[in-house]
A and B are shown apart, each in its own frame.
Chain A
């Protein structure tokens, strides 16, 4: 579905993303994790056309999309959400979602109807006539998701849709994400909430300092010494292992 090869971009002297290659299989949920500042959101921007890579290429459904504009990529079937939610605050939830629906629905009433059915899918049916500005954080995250879904994508990039939610809200949101995949949309998600990553992801890529340092199933990745060190610091894996063996003894 998606294949990135050798992507790099530098901001000043800092290599924000450094020769990253990754692929996403159709029908899967792939998670991208990594410590703060690892370059996850920058990588999303490179994949979705918001930033142009200095080296490397992105292919979506076997088509080279490197350097294409975000709106053109969206038309091909890949869209993204934003970590810091970006609603059209002065408009109603219905109108917000309809903007996405208009990609494939020319008529206003068709787009509004499509918006309504998407709202049901993500649990926003009761907020359709509210202004986006009046939604709670959980509501705004759902709205972000709904708008993206309304463009009828084949691949959706979710940038921390669970961040800022309380445990109750997280557990309500997890099935929504799973239902998106079950509805035929491939998901690539940046996520910090590990419990969600463990239960949702088929595959996990770990990014640290702009480089991919590990890749595998959630269980493989979380026991990888390189990953533990990236999160907890140098030598942490050895200390944990030592502590573990002491505890077992």
Chain B
């Protein structure tokens, strides 16, 4: 069965990454791997809702930022343990997902309307985070470095394992979606809501569940960002960069496929690393390049890299 094959490939990749710290000493390389996995995690989160569920969000940063801020506020203002803060932040992200889901899906917003509303939510949250002293307003929040604190590691290896574990959870969710009743219902809703309803699928609940799962994964990405870089501000947490990062990988890698977000993240990071040497660090160049790649992919390869591999195999 394809489940076993996908699981085997996933486990093999995970082992490969887990062994990296023993063979590679270079911090720059480990950093690149960590950032690639981080991008894959955001892509997985977005892929659950958009790739499997057909609901294209342009504002996934709203979940990312909520996760990051919830964890930061809990740790810094209330002295909550980082692990507990991680769990609560994921719950907070999922709750925001549920609220946005109820509001948009109850009123049957689809396509570009749904995309615009999610974008608006991210903007509203950015402005709110920018306003209240509670969240550090425009200054942002700094997570103090501490050897005693949980979820802070002396070397990159710890962060690598943390993000690898989160991507592993995302991968498990992807496997479940591609081989389960819920996944079949979600794909049915994506392809034709009317037909799905006629076949006994509760369209509203299926979509709601997808946005909650997607938001929870995205929030865990926000927490990871905070733990790794120790700093968060409204522009980073709720700005469009994160929303774009989340959608770019799956579109390039293959929408609604198990390996799409991973493939996309690897391809895009390889591209940006290799062109950085060519084009230098001029701000905006990599974004312009991403734009070109996105247009080319949508135009010539709508199935993404995963689609290309599948076709090669037939």
Measuring CB to CB, which residues of chain A are less than 8 angstroms from any residue of chain B?
A: 48, 50, 69-72, 74-75, 79-82, 86-91, 95, 98-100, 102-103, 105-108, 111, 147-148, 150-151
The answer on a CB contact under 8 Å between B191 and A102 is no
**Docked CA distance A86–B202 (Å):** 17
- Pick from B128-136, B148-156, B180-188 the stretch touching chain A: B180-188
Measuring CB to CB, which residues of chain B are less than 8 angstroms from any residue of chain A?
A: 179-181, 184-185, 187-188, 191-192, 194-203
The answer on a CB contact under 8 Å between B198 and A80 is yes
Cβ distance B292 to chain A, nearest Cβ, rounded Å: 26
Interface of B is mostly: helix
Q: Which residues on the B side are within 8 Å of A50 (C-beta)?
A: 194, 197-198
The answer on a CB contact under 8 Å between B184 and A69 is no
Q: Which residues on the B side are within 8 Å of A147 (C-beta)?
A: 195, 199
Known A50-B197, A90-B191, A99-B196; 19 more pairs at CB < 8 Å: A70-B197, A70-B198, A75-B200, A79-B200, A82-B195, A95-B187, A99-B184, A99-B185, A99-B187, A99-B195, A99-B199, A102-B184, A103-B200, A106-B181, A108-B181, A148-B198, A148-B199, A150-B199, A151-B199
The answer on a CB contact under 8 Å between B200 and A88 is no
Total A-B pairs, Cβ < 8 A: 78
Q: Which of B180, B191, B194, B202 contacts A108 (CB 8 A)?
A: B180
Q: Which residues on the B side are within 8 Å of A74 (C-beta)?
A: 197-200
**Docked CA distance A61–B263 (Å):** 52
Which residue on A lies nearest to B180, using beta carbons? A108
Minimum-distance CB pairs A-B, first 7: A74-B200, A88-B191, A103-B200, A70-B197, A86-B195, A99-B188, A100-B199
Q: Which residues on the B side are within 8 Å of A107 (C-beta)?
A: 181
The answer on a CB contact under 8 Å between B181 and A71 is no
**Docked CA distance A89–B195 (Å):** 11
The answer on a CB contact under 8 Å between A79 and B191 is no
Cβ distance A48 to chain B, nearest Cβ, rounded Å: 7
Q: Which residues on the A side are within 8 Å of B185 (C-beta)?
A: 99, 102
Which residue on B lies nearest to A104, using beta carbons? B200
**Docked CA distance A106–B182 (Å):** 9
Cβ distance B299 to chain A, nearest Cβ, rounded Å: 18
Q: Which of A87, A102, A106 contacts B195 (CB 8 A)?
A: A87
Q: Which residues on the B side are within 8 Å of A79 (C-beta)?
A: 198-200
**Docked CA distance A99–B190 (Å):** 12
**Docked CA distance A147–B201 (Å):** 12
The answer on a CB contact under 8 Å between B184 and A71 is no
Q: Which residues on the B side are within 8 Å of A106 (C-beta)?
A: 181
The answer on a CB contact under 8 Å between B198 and A102 is no
27 CB contacts below 8 A, A to B, read A48-B198, A50-B194, A71-B196, A71-B197, A71-B201, A71-B203, A74-B199, A74-B200, A80-B198, A81-B198, A82-B194, A82-B198, A86-B195, A87-B191, A87-B192, A88-B187, A95-B184, A98-B184, A99-B195, A99-B201, A103-B199, A103-B200, A106-B181, A108-B180, A148-B198, A148-B199, A150-B199
Q: Which residues on the A side are within 8 Å of B188 (C-beta)?
A: 88, 99
**Docked CA distance A179–B273 (Å):** 63
The answer on a CB contact under 8 Å between B181 and A111 is yes
**Docked CA distance A108–B184 (Å):** 9
Q: Which residues on the A side are within 8 Å of B203 (C-beta)?
A: 71
Q: Which residues on the A side are within 8 Å of B187 (C-beta)?
A: 88, 91, 95, 99
**Docked CA distance A75–B192 (Å):** 19
Q: Which residues on the A side are within 8 Å of B179 (C-beta)?
A: 108
**Docked CA distance A80–B194 (Å):** 11
Cβ distance A45 to chain B, nearest Cβ, rounded Å: 10
Most buried by A among B180, B199, B201: B199
Which residue on A lies nearest to B194, using beta carbons? A86
**Docked CA distance A150–B188 (Å):** 14
Known interface pairs A91-B187, A102-B185; A151-B200 also in contact (CB < 8 Å): yes
The answer on a CB contact under 8 Å between A102 and B194 is no
**Docked CA distance A217–B98 (Å):** 53
**Docked CA distance A106–B196 (Å):** 16
Q: Which residues on the B side are within 8 Å of A90 (C-beta)?
A: 191
**Docked CA distance A106–B202 (Å):** 15
**Docked CA distance A211–B196 (Å):** 30
Which residue on B lies nearest to A95, using beta carbons? B184
**Docked CA distance A113–B194 (Å):** 24
